[in-house]
Amino acid sequence: KAGVTQTPRYLIKTRGQQVTLSCSPISGHRSVSWYQQTPGQGLQFLFEYFSETQRNKGNFPGRFSGRQFSNSRSEMNVSTLELGDSALYLCASGGGTPNTEAFFGQGTRLTVV
C-alpha cells in the first residue's frame, strides 16, 4: 500500500510569510504526527492529531498550528516565518494505538530567506 506522502518536497519562503505543508497518511491510519528536524535541535515533536483532534502538543510557539481532516489527511501551518524555521518537517502516520508503528514520510524541506 502507498506510504506517507508529504507535499511539497521543497519550499522556499520569505521571512514574515506563512506556509502550509500537507501530509497524506497511510490508508486506514488515524494518527498523524509532525516533527521538525534541524542540525542544531535535532528531531523535535510538534503535535499529533488523532481522529481530527489534537492529542499531543510539543513545545513550539503558537505560530505553529495544524489540523486533520475527516479523511485523516493533515496540514501544518507556520505563520510569520522566521529564519530559524528553516528545517526538514517530517510527518508520521500510525494506527494511533500502542504497539502500532509510526511510518514517516520523506519530509518537506522548508527554507526561509
Using CB under 8 A, which of the segments 12-20, 35-43, 63-71, 72-80 binds another protein?
A: 35-43
31 binds another protein (CB under 8 A): yes
Q: Considering the complex, what minimum distance in angstroms separates the CB of residue 70 from another protein?
A: 18
Upper half-sphere CA count for residue 41 (Cβ side, 13 Å): 16
Q: Considering the complex, what minimum distance in angstroms separates the CB of residue 88 from another protein?
A: 9
55 binds another protein (CB under 8 A): yes
Q: Is-contact 62 45, C-beta < 8 A?
A: no
Of 19, 21, 26, 48, the one binding another protein by CB under 8 A:
48
Which residues lie below 8 Å from residue 85, measured CB to CB, with a gap of 6+? 78, 110, 112
Q: Considering the complex, what minimum distance in angstroms separates the CB of residue 54 from another protein?
A: 11
Contacts with another protein in 1-30 (CB under 8 A)? 4
